[in-house]
Structure 1
Amino acid sequence: MEKHFVKADGNGMIDVNGQVSPVTYTVSFKEGMGHSYEVDIRLMAPRDWLLQRGFNRDAVLVSQSGARIPVYHGGANRHDGGGLDPADAISIELTARDDSCTSEADLMGKYPEFGGIRAAAAGRP
């Protein structure tokens, strides 16, 4: 059975074809069975900035920890494979999912954004 859902914000860099820009992002995790963790990463990037750098469907988020995390434009409703178009919304959501954390120590090491949250969660009933 899943336990609580926790969110935190981070500051990093987005890398599109070797061109980088500062970006804020949100990470959230759910604790599953057997100390497994499912981490979701979401960020918003300016459509025009992405298009000018040749963005197609994926980029790299350089997180606070220095980890390089591939992030993707969902494009679930698109018929062109998820590529951007000048008619798309001005801010484009990029997401990633990481299910590689199998311990709390692994989670906190890979995502320092959660550092202060653990202490706050410990005070919950």
Structure 2
Amino acid sequence: MEKHIVKADGLGAIDVNGQVSPVTYTVSVKEGKGPSFEVDIRLMAPRDWLLQKGFNRDAVLVSQSGARIPVYRHDGNHHDDGHHHDGRLDPADAVSIELSARDDSCISEVDLRRKYPEFDGAG
């Protein structure tokens, strides 16, 4: 795999406090330092669904491979409206909320493709 970023889409589920809903997500990978790979996982979840389920900063993505990956809301803790947030949702937030994670545990391409089968045939 070259050093450029390769992206793939996956279909999994998001788990918030034991309540699960189907979700699509994007995984992107690039070579990291040494033998490892840097994998970024991003998904969009409906704000209202997250609020109803009691979302509080993090959820779990159940990926295509069955791996349970903690995903977090990264909003920089600041909004243009001047309010300071600690990752908690507010009904005034955008309708779709981006959740993301980074995984640098894959140390070989075989390991990467086993954990992230979404990359089979990608790139």
TM-score, normalised relative to structure 2 = 0.91
**Per-residue deviation at 1:77?**
3.0
Residue in structure 2 matched with residue 108 of structure 1 by the alignment: 113
- Checking the alignment, whether the CA contact within 8 Å between 2:77 and 2:85 is kept in structure 1 is no
**Per-residue deviation at 1:76?**
1.1
Cα RMSD, aligned residues only: 1.3
Unmatched runs of 5 consecutive residues or more in structure 1: none
CA distance in 2, matches of 1:55, 1:5: 31
Residue in structure 2 matched with residue 69 of structure 1 by the alignment: 69
Higher helix share: 1
Unmatched runs of 5 consecutive residues or more in structure 2: 79-83
In the alignment of these two chains, the number of paired residues is 117
TM-score, normalised relative to structure 1 = 0.89
**Per-residue deviation at 1:34?**
3.1
**Per-residue deviation at 1:4?**
1.1
Identity fraction in percent: 79
CA distance in 2, matches of 1:5, 1:34: 16
Which protein has greater RCO, CA pairs closer than 8 Å, 6+ apart? 2
Is 1:80–2:82 an aligned residue pair? Answer: no
CA distance in 1, matches of 2:120, 2:105: 18
